[in-house]
Amino acid sequence: MEVVNWKGIVESLLFAAGDEGLSIKQISQVLEIEEAYAGEILLQLTEDYEADQNRGITVVQFAGNYQLATKKENSTYLKKLVESPTTTTLSQAALETLAIIAYKQPITRAEIEEIRGVKTERPIHTLVGKVLIKEVGRAEGTGRAILYGTTKEFLDYFGLRSIEELPPLPEKVDEEYIQEEADLFFEKFQETLDT
């Protein structure tokens, strides 16, 4: 009989869930096991991370959801990575995601994905890592999805005193105009990051 590596599976699930994390109930449903057993697996996984001083990640709990996170003792190096000039450029996906958040905040990842038509987990992680966006609350309803908004650092990058100073969106929209404006916006933003 094959032995199931429950801890490895839970670790994979937490990694895939990203910053939204998973509740014990969600884990137990996916694994088709009792919630108590899912809780034991999470506890064992957490203890494994804590016991091994060579590991750089751990399991944390926020608002009833569990997620993988970096260990606090590595924060100095993570800060250097974020502030490093070699990591200042943003992908087109990150720039598009940032523009949507700036104009539609507070907004959930699902709403951003609906507008973009593609997954946005990685661009959101990048923007959070660069402190251009942050969690500003939780949406009402099932799952209480994370709401994202821009940060003071975002305003500083663009030389804005408040989000109200963003240029207004045109009322009449034509596809060519939108593409032109988006290209100008991204170009200006990228120049700001490069300087």
Name the helix (H) or strand (E) containing 148.
Answer: strand 146-150
- For 37-68, write each residue's pLDDT tens digit: 999 999 999 999 988 888 888 888 877 889 98
Q: What is the mean pLDDT of residues 29-37?
A: 93
- Is residue 141 one of the residues assigned to a domain? yes
- For 161-187, write each residue's pLDDT tens digit: 888 888 887 665 555 555 666 666 666
3-class state of residue 118 by DSSP: coil
Q: Are residues 99 and 55 in the same domain?
A: no
Would you mind telling me the total number of residues written for the chain in this entry? 195
Name the CA dihedral angle for 28, 33, 34, 35, rounded to a multiple of 10 degrees. -20
pLDDT band at 102 (very low <50, low <70, confident <90, very high): very high
Q: What is the mean pLDDT of residues 13-39?
A: 90
Residue 33: give the domain boundaries: 6-74
pLDDT at 24 over 90: yes
Q: Are residues 27 and 101 in the same domain?
A: no
Q: What is the mean pLDDT of residues 135-148?
A: 88
- Is residue 1 one of the residues assigned to a domain? no
**Which residues neighbour 31 within 8 Å (Cβ) at sequence distance 6 or greater?**
6, 9, 10, 38
Q: What is the mean pLDDT of residues 103-132?
A: 90
Q: Are residues 92 and 183 in the same domain?
A: yes
Residue 86: the pLDDT is 47
Q: Are residues 57 and 93 in the same domain?
A: no
CB-based contact 71:55 (threshold 8 Å): yes
pLDDT at 95 over 50: yes
Strands 57-62 and 133-138: unpaired
CB-based contact 97:124 (threshold 8 Å): yes
Averaged confidence pLDDT in the chain: 83
pLDDT at 77 over 50: yes
Q: Note the helical H segments in 32-90.
A: 35-51, 75-83
pLDDT at 143 over 50: yes
pLDDT at 134 over 90: yes
The CATH number assigned to the domain holding 116 equals: 1.10.10.10
Q: Are residues 117 and 39 in the same domain?
A: no
Residue 84: the pLDDT is 60
* Residue that wins the pLDDT comparison between 51 and 91: 51
